[in-house]
Chain A
Amino acid sequence: MICRILLADLCYKKNSLSRFEFVHPIREILERSGFPCKICHYLEVTDNVLASYDKVILCGTALKDNAYMEQIESFSWLKDLNKPTLGICAGMQVISASFGGSIVPQPAIGLNMIEIIRSSPLLGEPRQIEGYHLHNFAATLPEGFLRLAGRNDAPVAFQRGTLPLYGILFHPEVRNRWILERFANL
């Protein structure tokens, strides 16, 4: 059966100009790999919407777009969602905040080396990769989560125990498309 993926658009409003930059590239990568996607603004994600999809990706936002931080309660469905979920950048921050972690200032713009320190189905074996960062904030590691990448400060990637709930701080749509394909194939 074909896996259907819900892309939660975390941008400051529905159909914003930012969606072309943070949501459409992810849809294009996944659909070219054979995984149909549907975009839904995060304020419109409901249990009914979620029921129609096999996996969920929480997409990133523009550097100056922090509106999602004021709406963390809109993601209460995350705690009960029993489906593979990936949070990218702002999406990772939302996952952390929803599970008791905190969003903390940690600006980064550009390509940086990322140290994968723990093996996982999403990122594979420990090694270094180059990733594209675009954020003013990062997120702390909530209780019960494992640090997958990044040794200093906030984690660059995490996983909730052995469950398929992941967060990555960098943008895989730039130079690391394999991560999206790997998530779709989990």
Chain B
Amino acid sequence: MKLGVLFSGGKDSVFACWRAREKNDIACLITVVSENADSYMFHTPNIRCTKLQAEAMGIPLLSWPTRGEKEAELEDLMAAVAAARDQYGIQGVVTGAIESVYQAVRVQRICRCLDLWCFNPLWQINQIDYLRQLRSFGFRVIISGVYAYPFEESWLGAELTEERIQSLAGLQEKYKINPSGEGGELETFVLDGPLFKKKIEILKASLSYAYYRGQYIIEEMRLVEK
């Protein structure tokens, strides 16, 4: 089946893409670029960097703008998916949704409207097990945004290691956070993974952080041989 992946450049969409690629043809990645930093639906830090990730994986990227207003952005998502269907002939959409009924329902409705299949290969997965799978399958993931107590500045730009996963498991127990960050606590960016023919090297980045909210913005990067 020819599929399009809703692609933010974070770990969930990259992992979902890899799983979908096992037995399907990934015709394109679909990135909705939101002007609203607090978008309900779309991951925002470093969203423009998906272009280099797509290049690293050798998959075409369809980039679609949205102003990121609460329900209007769904119309933009539908337009983006319709464009992917028309341009790349996709028969279905893949998302990295794990627990978010809010996101899953909206994408399901869009797919139904457009008569497309909808796949959520991470749906309801145990989040700590999943974080460990990312590492064991060779994904290199950094934390690109923090948005909740008690994430300190040291998380920004840090790689997802076993030590960090243990910390997240502890925070899940103590503060009921989603360790994968799907509740908006964390954002991530993938530098390398099993689908990457080349890996991403960050040359320059900047950091902003205050009161447990911060972003790690990639300013310069390049592809290097693995």
Contact = CB atoms under 8 A, between A and B. Distances in A.
Interface of A: 15-18, 20-21, 24-25, 28, 32, 62-65, 107, 109-111, 132, 134, 136, 173-175
Given A20-B121, A62-B118, A64-B117, A28 B126 contact: yes
B101 interface: yes
Interface in B95-114: 101, 105, 108-109, 111-112
B24 interface: yes
Given A17-B20, A17-B24, A20-B122, 13 more contacts: A16-B23, A20-B121, A21-B119, A21-B121, A24-B125, A25-B123, A62-B119, A63-B111, A63-B118, A64-B92, A107-B112, A110-B105, A174-B124
B124 A25 contact: yes
Interface of B: 19-20, 22-24, 92, 94, 101, 105, 108-109, 111-112, 115-126
B123 A17 contact: no
Secondary structure call for the A interface:
mixed
Contacts of A25: 123-125
Given A109-B112, A132-B101, A64 B123 contact: no
Contact of B119 (A15, A17, A110, A132): A17
B121 A17 contact: yes
A133 to B, nearest CB: 9
Contacts of A24: 125
A109 B102 CA distance: 11
A62 B120 CA distance: 10
Contact of A111 (B23, B101, B123): B101
Contacts of B19: 17, 20
A180 B94 CA distance: 27
A88 to B, nearest CB: 13
Contacts of A111: 101, 105
